[in-house]
Structure 1
Amino acid sequence: MARNIEIKARIDSVESLWPLVINIADEGPIEIIQDDTFFACPNGRLKLRAFSDHDGQLIFYQRPDSAGPKQSFYVISPTASPDTLRQSLTLAYGESGRVQKHRTLFMVGRTRVHLDRIEGLGDFLELEVVLGECESSETGVSIAHELLEKLGINHHQLIEESYVELLARLPGKVIRQTANR
């Protein structure tokens, strides 16, 4: 499986961080609209990411919940029919949540820098430092810390939960659980 080091932080606004990211970016900005549907999965996390009616990805991943940089293992499977795949997975496993986001992607070296605007939550920074096959996670953690420092992100801004978990904790939020039992 592919690996990266991930870290998320709550930010005041995408606009406030934009100038700092653009100054260090090698590529970008690339604007991406994402509709992520999460499914019950006992061995990790399973989500369907839809970009459009005819373009999506089924993503399985494993990573711990912690506020600092964390290693994530993942497998991505492209799909040309995300809507019917979502329906099948919902019937088979149950939907555990949905996250809609406007993501702006930049590349800084081998790090994907995401400026995310999450519907219902606000603005976030997410870093994904891509690791080589035999590379230690410490190398990625070091790169993530350097980028956080360059972007002026403080430790208290880091979050451990995923976006779907943050949304589920909102007052009055009901997570739809559909399963064929």
Structure 2
Amino acid sequence: MATNLEFKAQCQSLESFYPRLADLNATYHETVRQIDTYFYVPSEKCQPRLKLREIDEITEAWLIYYERPNMEASRYSQYQLCEIVNPVTLKAFLTAALGIKAIVKKQRELWMFNHTRIHLDTVADLGQFVELETVFHGQTKTEAVNEHQHVKTILRLDTTDPVAVSYSDLIVQRS
């Protein structure tokens, strides 16, 4: 499985992050609409999650499995991705087999700084969030951790409200 170092925080306004992204020299990539359907996962492992991500009204879809502890600090996530050709059929199959835990609808702006994906998310019924994912690919663990901390510092994420759980958990808590 691949590894990310992740951090998520809720914020009052995403607007305040644009000057900080400029200070960081981050590069804007795209804005997409995503629907993440989370399924129940029977497991003894550390908070496993399985979701079907549909992007921009099913122009693209991915099945994503990941394991990540719930904690407010930066945390490691192990994940696997599989591109999906027929998401409608797969969603029906997984719904019948596992059941739907939650559906998360969001608009996501993707920015990049080296190996770090910076997400500016507006999540339906939850609000606005900043999420970092520093990918462990082509660099050492120390380099990845240093880059991740550098991004957190420049974006001043220590002044935000850290979020320990996934968007799906927040949706379930609200219902």
Considering the TM-score relative to the shorter chain, is it more than 0.5?
yes
**What is the SS of the residue equivalent to 1:10?**
strand
- CA drift at 1:133: 7.0
Query: Mapping of 1:71-150 within 5 angstroms?
Result: 71-132=76-137, 135-136=140-141, 138-150=142-154
2:42 is aligned to 42
Measure, in 1, the Cα distance between the counterparts of 2:139 and 2:148: 18
> What is the count of residue pairs matched by the alignment?
170
Aligned-residue Cα RMSD (Å) equals: 1.8
Instruction: Spell out, residue by residue over 1:129-175, the C-alpha distance to the aligned partner (whole angstroms, 9 max, x if none).
Output: 00037833x543332222111111226611101111111111xx2xx
Please report the TM-score for the alignment, with normalisation by the length of structure 1.
0.87
Measure, in 1, the Cα distance between the counterparts of 2:129 and 2:137: 26
With over 3 angstroms needed to count, the CA separation of the structure-2 counterparts of 1:133 and 1:25, relative to structure 1, is closer
2:28 is aligned to 28
* Unaligned ranges ≥5, structure 2: none
Sequence identity, in percent? 33
CA contact (8 A) 2:24 2:151 kept: no
CA contact (8 A) 1:54 1:81 kept: no
Please, which of 70, 74, 77 is the counterpart of residue 69 of structure 1?
74
* AA matched with 1:37: T
With over 3 angstroms needed to count, the CA separation of the structure-2 counterparts of 1:25 and 1:49, relative to structure 1, is farther
Please report the TM-score for the alignment, with normalisation by the length of structure 2.
0.89
Measure, in 1, the Cα distance between the counterparts of 2:86 and 2:28: 27
* AA matched with 2:145: V
**What is the SS of the residue equivalent to 2:130?**
strand
- Alignment of 1:10 with 2:7, yes or no, is no
